[in-house]
Each structure stands twice: as structure tokens, then as C-alpha cells.
Chain A
Amino acid sequence: ELKVEQNPLFLSMQEGKNYTIYCNYSTTSDRLYWYRQDPGKSLESLFVLLSNGAVKQEGRLMASLDTKARLSTLHITAAVHDLSATYFCAVGWDTDKLIFGTGTRLQVFP
């Protein structure tokens, strides 16, 4: 059974600081996704990572994938309040399945 773990579960960070969210998964997969969810809202796709060593950046967020280590990271640079949300990684499994990580609730304060 595929397990996906994220850490930290909760992250409170000051504006302007940098931090990294980690996503570890237990079984080989070559598809890794990052989603953002605002309270009471749906999931917004941030990144799709499809190969070992893939790195994608959008604004203050950068995601990477190491399939050999079964690890993906989401790096936040110079955090701003608008980034406050819950971030989920999800691992592609068995063609059609997505197995979601536990989620990281990010709170950015002044």
C-alpha cells in the first residue's frame, strides 16, 4: 500500500523567510503533484512533476522531485501572507489514482 507523508503538518512562518515542505512516499512512482487549498475551497493545481530531477518554479514556490529517494520538496522563498493555505502533495498510483499526503497548513504572519 502506498503511503504519502508530509512534514511539517503545520508551519507558521514570518513574512520574508524561506522554508521547505517535504513529501515522502513509500513506493515507486514517477508522477508527483502539488496542490494548494484555501479554507473551504477546492484544490488548485500548482505543479506536476513527471521525472527524476524535475524542478518547477512559479513565483515564490519551487518544487522538485527525487524519485530515487521517493522525496519531493516544495520550497517557499520570501514568504508573503497570500501564501497562507494548506498544501498537499499527491502521488500518482496505478494509472488513475492519486494518493494524497497529510497536508501542510501554512500560516504566514507579518
Chain B
Amino acid sequence: DTEVTQTPKHLVMGMTNKKSLKCEQHMGHRAMYWYKQKAKKPPELMFVYSYEKLSINESVPSRFSPECPNSSLLNLHLHALQPEDSALYLCASSHHGGRSYEQYFGPGTRLTVT
């Protein structure tokens, strides 16, 4: 299995809602990532988990809360978002260590904040 899956594919939420994005991989990867991508822009790294521990937080606002329950799952909890948070949220995974650190991306969740 060489796939990263993400649910939901689309999400519309109000600014007072609480929602979660989910990501799953079964490639035995021990590093998992969240990226945010605005239209016509490159992906921007938000968080990195290595061996289920948060290793990188790129100064992301606290209304985004990541969680890694186990080595296969990664969640992103959303609360009190702003309209400017509307974007494509991409999850990725990679082997930790080794030479290439190649990241495999999921299909993304298209988030709209109203």
C-alpha cells in the first residue's frame, strides 16, 4: 500500500465550528506532515510529526491543533477559523532517516470557512 488517504475531501465550516481533518498511511512511515496550500501558491509546511511526536511547528496559529494518535494516523483539529484559512490542506508522510526523505502526499482536503 503506497497511498496516503485524507478525509473529508471537502469541508465547509463556520467560524464558530469545530471540525477535524484526518490522514492515514500504511507504508510504515514514521514522519507525517501537514501543509497548507492557497490557490496558485506552493504548499507551506505547518507541522511535522516524527515517531508520533511533534517536531516542527511553523508558528501556526493555535486555532489549528495537530494530533498523532499512532504511527499511521494524523489529525488536524480546527476551531474558530477565519475565512483566510480557506485552502487545500495536504497531508504527507515519509520514512524518517534514510537517504531520500521522499514525501508522499494525500489527495488533500479542500476547506472553506464561511
In the complex, whether B83 has a CB less than 8 A from a CB of chain A is: no
With contacts A96-B31, A96-B96 known, is A45 near B104, CB below 8 A? yes
Residues of chain A with a CB closer than 8 A to B99's CB = 50
B100 touching A96 by the CB < 8 A rule? no
- A105 and B41 alpha carbons, distance in the complex (Å): 11
For the complex, count residues of B whose C-beta is within 8 A of A.
Answer: 26
A88 touching B42 by the CB < 8 A rule? yes
For the complex, count residues of A whose C-beta is within 8 A of B.
Answer: 23
In the complex, whether B43 has a CB less than 8 A from a CB of chain A is: yes
B42 touching A33 by the CB < 8 A rule? no
- A31 and B31 alpha carbons, distance in the complex (Å): 17
A/B interface sample: 18 pairs, CB < 8 A:
A33-B102, A35-B105, A40-B110, A41-B107, A41-B108, A42-B106, A48-B100, A95-B101, A96-B56, A96-B96, A97-B45, A97-B48, A98-B103, A99-B45, A101-B42, A102-B42, A103-B42, A105-B40
Interface residues in chain B, defined as those with a beta carbon under 8 Å from any beta carbon in chain A = 31, 33, 40-45, 48, 50, 55-56, 90, 94, 96, 99-108, 110
Interface residues in chain A, defined as those with a beta carbon under 8 Å from any beta carbon in chain B = 31, 33, 35, 40-45, 48, 50, 88, 92, 95-103, 105
